[in-house]
Amino acid sequence: MATQPDKKTASMASQLAKVHVNVREDLEVTRHLFRGSPSYIVRDPVTFQTQRLDPPDYTVFIAINQGMPLGEIFQRLASQKKVREADEEHFYKFILSLHQIGFLHLPINDDKRLYRRLIEKQKAKRKQRLLGILFLRIPLWNPDAFLTRNIRWVAPLFSRTAFALWLVLVMAAGYTVFMRWGDLTEPLSGLLAAQNLAGMWITLIVLKVIHEFGHAFACKRFGGYVPDMGAYMIMFTPCAYVDATSSWGFTRKSHRIIVCLAGMYVETICAAIAVFVWSMTGPSTVHNVAYNIIFLASVVTMLFNINPLMRYDGYYIFSDITEIPNLRSRASQYLISTLKQSLLRIPIKEANMPRRLRFTLLTFGIASTLYRTTLMIAIAAILASKLFFVGIGLAAIYLMSTIVKMVRSLTQYLWHGEETAHVRRRAIAIGVVVLLIGPSMICLVPSPNRVHATGVLTTQNESVIRTEIAGFIEHVAIKPGDKIEVGAPVATMRNDMLQESVARANANLAAAEIRRDAFLQDQPNKSMQEKAKAAALQRALQKAKLELGRLHVQSYAAGTVISGMNPEHQGQFIEIGTPIATVASGEWRIRALLTDEEIANAKPAVGDTIQFRSYAKPGETHEGFIVSIDAVGSHHVELPALTQLAGGHIAVNPATFESNKPYFEIAIELPSTQRQYFRHGTTGAIIMDGPPLPIGTRVARKVIRFLQHLMHD
């Protein structure tokens, strides 16, 4: 950098050189070591805002307290070789940044600058009022005195002994979950049922309050100050918060990490206890509440709180472990600097950083940018789904304001920024490509259009042989793989009540016939009556014998037995309609279910070639061809193997097998040479290549389908 300051720097120096400023005396400063180098954390006890200062910036920070004009302070630092003459611009920018975060007072009498600042504040307030509806923060309580009074009861939780007991508790709960995994996952399909939502909502609120108290007590345990606790609404969903930012000033890294982990720590204790309560209780309110706690305190908490891309516990833990304070802002700045260097050939200011640090910042910056973009779209979708027309309007405003702000900042930097002045032509060209040509090409360039779905191997004809009467299984005459014909014996059953009814009918018939013959000579009228009774009893006997004959189950279809009961079922009582065996015949086919969107993308037709990969052998690809496609979709799913009840991806009501969207069935025939590799019920992925689809068309279809879904709901 040249020693001669430019016009802007000279103007800034002329305005601030004679200004006297002082650092606020109530600021709290702690010294930390990050990657072997010292850093200083400055904390505002009023706003609880913190700022990390490197040693050179901290040297300037403490020099401000000397009560001298800023110009003299800079000259003294320069004479002591603590700053360079070329750093004058950075010096005054640093002073202004301290003023902006409230660490010092800087009197500026520039009317134009004050007016611009007023306009910016008014815009920020308007935007804050708009987004405040969606992200409402409500302070409720200063819990510090309460925490101080009760910390002696909770402090043992954050000891090594308690941690060892926690490990034992969690391992025992994990073993219980492993042993009861099937029972634990079975109710998942009904977790979001309407009758359970209120209970889950209340459980979530209680757990989050416990979570935040975990942070608060941990912070107090290590000497921190907790001044605020309250509630905030995220997209109209209540959550709790606590201000434990004083922990950022702890000099020991382990203490800072413990405070960050404390919320999840106490929630896992609740989840482990809930596992034992759930396993020891039957269907009841307590059982259901315990199940909700297990789900919310484990899956949901880990999914959100441990995610380092969200500014929750996981982010601060990752920042501390990697020893990178202000991780998100530094990663964003380094990502932008890398793009500047790659596209505009502007040197990176921190080019001497270690390779590992550069990799971490660049990776986190890319991941964080993609995540924020996804989150922005998700917020817009949630707004539209909750409020529809109002939500769509708010979502449109939210997206457009974000996009407009980004475009305006980018054009201002590329076309008018001082940093790009020496590469203005390249900057303008890149701006045109990024803002105009790039999006147009992305929307118009065709992209591969491959559709994946799940299919199950079945036969053209399948008959399920069911019992026509209740009884006990005495003998099973078939096994899977057997060839059977129509009328072949399948199973023999026993029903003592039916046998007694036949014997009783025989006895009643014999008695009626004896009475008929006895009255024949002397009382012909009574003989006629007994004859009629005998005829009725004969019909009853025939009906009883017919029912008894149904205990011998026979096949009413010819083919191959693909599933059925086995000798282990002998002695088991079964009800009417219980499946005994399934007989398959005809051609072997793969049946798959596709949504209307997948049908529109793949555009399948009879005779098209598809690929099939069995989940049992995903490395082998087999080709088949489509033989039929349903013309009308159905909400009723006739293939249980493709539903969530059997590990599939189609969500259905367990009682009715109805899905929330229609599915179209397609049948695929495999060549006879490939059928030997599979057995009935084999599931796998079918892969269809549709015509190439422009990204813009794909996105437009997604938006249209989403809006249609909202309108139907």
In whole angstroms, give the CA distance from residue 473 to residue 546. 18
Mean pLDDT confidence for 260-281 = 91
Q: Which of 414, 410, 433, 432 is closest to 422 using CA atoms?
A: 414
Q: Considering only residues 599 and 672, tell me which one the structure prediction assigns the higher pLDDT.
A: 599
The rounded distance, in Å, linking the Cα atoms of 701 and 713 is: 18
Residue 382's CB is within 10 A of a number of other CB atoms, namely 17
Give the pLDDT confidence of 6-23 residue by residue, as tens digits. 444 445 666 777 777 878
Give the closest residue to 499 by CA, choosing from 458, 549, 536. Answer: 549
Signed CA dihedral, 302, 306, 307, 311: sign only: positive
pLDDT band at 134 (very low <50, low <70, confident <90, very high): low
* Distances from the Cα of 402 to the Cα of 308, 313, 328, 398, 708, angstroms: 23, 26, 19, 6, 25
Region 130-139: mean pLDDT is 63
Report which of residues 114 and 34 the model is more confident about: 34
Residue 257 has pLDDT above 70, yes or no: yes
d(CA 581, CA 320): 62
Query: Residue 242 is which amino acid?
Result: V
Q: Is the pLDDT of residue 245 over 70?
A: yes
- Give the tokens for residue 267: 């929630």
CA 711 → CA 159, 280, 389, 392, 707, distances in Å?
A: 55, 45, 10, 12, 6
pLDDT for the residue numbered 166: 94
The more confidently predicted of residues 512 and 106 is: 512
Specify whether the CB–CB gap between 226 and 144 falls below 8 A.
Answer: yes
Is the pLDDT at 42 greater than 70? The verdict is yes
Read off the tokens for 36: 């072997």
pLDDT band at 380 (very low <50, low <70, confident <90, very high): low
Q: Where in the chain is the domain with CATH 2.40.30?
A: 586-712
What the block records as the tokens of 395 is 């979502």
Residue 670 has pLDDT above 70, yes or no: yes
- The pLDDT value recorded for residue 147 is 92
All CATH 3.90.930 domain ranges of the chain, comma separated, are 7-125
pLDDT, residue 110, reads: 47
Q: Percent of the chain scored above 90 by pLDDT? A: 8
What pLDDT sits at residue 3? 40
Arithmetic mean of pLDDT over the chain: 79
Which residues does residue 658 pair with via DSSP β-bridges, in sequence order?
Answer: 636
Core vs surface per residue 501-513: b (16+ CB within 10 A) or e: bbeebeebbeebb
Q: What is the mean pLDDT of residues 417-425?
A: 81
Q: Residue 269: what pLDDT?
A: 92
Question: What pLDDT does 28 receive?
Answer: 74
Encoded tokens for 601? 């993308």
Higher pLDDT among residues 428 and 674, named by residue? 428
For 230-239, 295-304, 350-359, 417-426, which range has the lowest pLDDT when averaged over its residues?
230-239
Which is higher by pLDDT, 633 or 28? 633
Determine the pLDDT at residue 149: 92
pLDDT of res. 274: 92
Residue with the bigger pLDDT between 188 and 638: it is 638
The answer, yes or no, to whether residue 428 has pLDDT greater than 70, is yes
Query: Domain spanning 586-712 has what CATH number?
Result: 2.40.30
At 537 the pLDDT is 81
- Of 24-28, 129-133, 299-303, where does mean pLDDT reach its minimum? 129-133
- pLDDT single digits (tens) 704-713: 776 666 565 5
Strand 229-234 and strand 622-629: the pairing is: unpaired
Query: In a 3-state reduction of DSSP, which class is residue 623?
Result: strand
CATH number of 7-125: 3.90.930
CA distance 137 to 285: 33
